[in-house]
Amino acid sequence: MTDLITSEPAAMPADWTVRSPHRIKRARAETRFRLYGIVAIGIAVAFLASMLLTIFIGGAGAFTTSKIGLDVTFNEQVIDPSGARDPASFRGVNYRPLITGALAEVFPDVEGRQDTRALYKLISTGAVYQLENMVTENPDIIGTTQRVWVSAGTDTNLYLAGKIDPDMPQELRQLTERETGWIETLKSAGHVKTDINTSFFTNGDSREPEQAGILGALMGSFFSLIVCFVIAFPLGVLTAVYLEEFARKNRLTDFIEVNINNLAAVPSIVFGLLGLAIFLNVFNLPRSTPLVGGMVLALMTLPTIIIASRAALRAVPPSVREAAYGLGASKVQTTFHHTVPLAMPGMLTGTIIGMAQALGETAPLLMIGMVAFIVDVPTSVVDTATSLPVQIFLWADNPEIGFREMTSAAIIVLLIFLVLMNLLAVILRKKLERRW
């Protein structure tokens, strides 16, 4: 041994360094193949980056909005002529005169019905509800004058965001020369500020882009996914456990397995049609609700969960089952004490990936009517609702320019949730994985 270490290293065999044509060819082939891989990844990353960049640039504007500050006089004569201060009576009052009054103070020279109407259009139609809420919350402001920051109107918003080209001919663009002049006046008088668009996160859908929000769709998606999980997870896992651990392998189970695999490949719209035919028309469940949406998504997710769970169960080494059987554990004990806990990380990963698919699914929801224009934010699974992808579809379909960036913004929200769900899958897998 020591001889080997102390002696001089033997000369390298001559043919180790020979660069024969065969070896050169082989080395080139390896380099070439590595290059193909890098190019392929590069192209994929470039496509992904350009897609994300487009969406983020397009959607960034929707997260900020322009506000217009008005010195509103809360005239008692308009709001509460009787002086009773009955909160119920504040609702349904026409608050528009308060806004036109405040505008008239900034633009004293604008007169006439048509002109005041044009001026009023600079402000969002939602401003009256903002005033109504202020009065209802705090009746003491009646009779006072307050600076109120109200949302700018759709076109004002676009103009302030630089989305309206002032060089365009007046007939083709949304705002006339005079109206842009008014906006400039407001701006120079300090009546305009840019704010975070909170209504995007707190409102439901709306006809007006500046009032439209994602919350309704978000809650719709959330409730649908809850229903989907509650149905699909136990059903899928128990199906997988039965097929993998208990069922005898015969023609019937083979047939079931083939069909489950086929179901995973069925276009999702078919599940939507099934939901329409069975859940809505036969069971008469409420249309356009997350309940039915979740049920349809559960049907769609089931094959994914079953296949992933079976794979996870199959990956549990048989020696664990044998050990339990050898100790006199029954089949159910073996399955639920050992096999299922060991397979759980895989099952959960499959479930979350299935749920992420369900979150992005549009077609089946169109079939069961979750595509309606719904302003109210749903508060339960039986309220009518849309879902995130459907909302994107609706906004993308809307001809109004203001919805363009809303669409991108909604896509950003959807993407964030998808990334979060996949992250959760990774974390769960890492955490629950056999630690030893």
Q: Which residues bind another protein (CB under 8 A)?
A: 248-249, 317, 319-330, 333, 337-338, 342, 434-436
Q: Which of 19, 435 has the CB closer to another protein? A: 435
Distance between alpha carbon 432 and the CA centroid of its chain, in Å? 27
Tell me how many degrees the CA angle 394-267-44 measures, rounded to the nearest 5: 75
- φ and ψ of 95, to 5 deg: -90, 0
Q: Tokens standing for 153?
A: 């109107």
CB of residue 264 to another protein, shortest distance in Å: 27
CB of residue 313 to another protein, shortest distance in Å: 15
Q: Which of 298, 324 has the CB closer to another protein? A: 324
Q: Tokens standing for 391?
A: 């909302």
What is the β-pairing status of strands 64-73 and 192-196?
antiparallel
Q: Which of 161, 320 has the CB closer to another protein? A: 320
CB of residue 339 to another protein, shortest distance in Å: 11
CB of residue 161 to another protein, shortest distance in Å: 58
Q: Could you tell me which residues are beta bridge partners of residue 146? A: 72
CA atoms within 13 A on the CB side of 395: 31
Q: Which of 210, 245 has the CB closer to another protein? A: 245
CB of residue 235 to another protein, shortest distance in Å: 26
CA–CA distance, 300 with 297 (Å, rounded to integer): 5
Q: Which of 299, 342 has the CB closer to another protein? A: 342
Q: Are 311 and 240 in contact (CB under 8 A)?
A: no
CB of residue 1 to another protein, shortest distance in Å: 23
Q: Which of 173, 321 has the CB closer to another protein? A: 321
Instruction: Output b/e per residue, 249-283; b: 16+ Cβ within 10 A.
Output: eeeeeeeebeebeebbeeebeebbebbbeebbeee
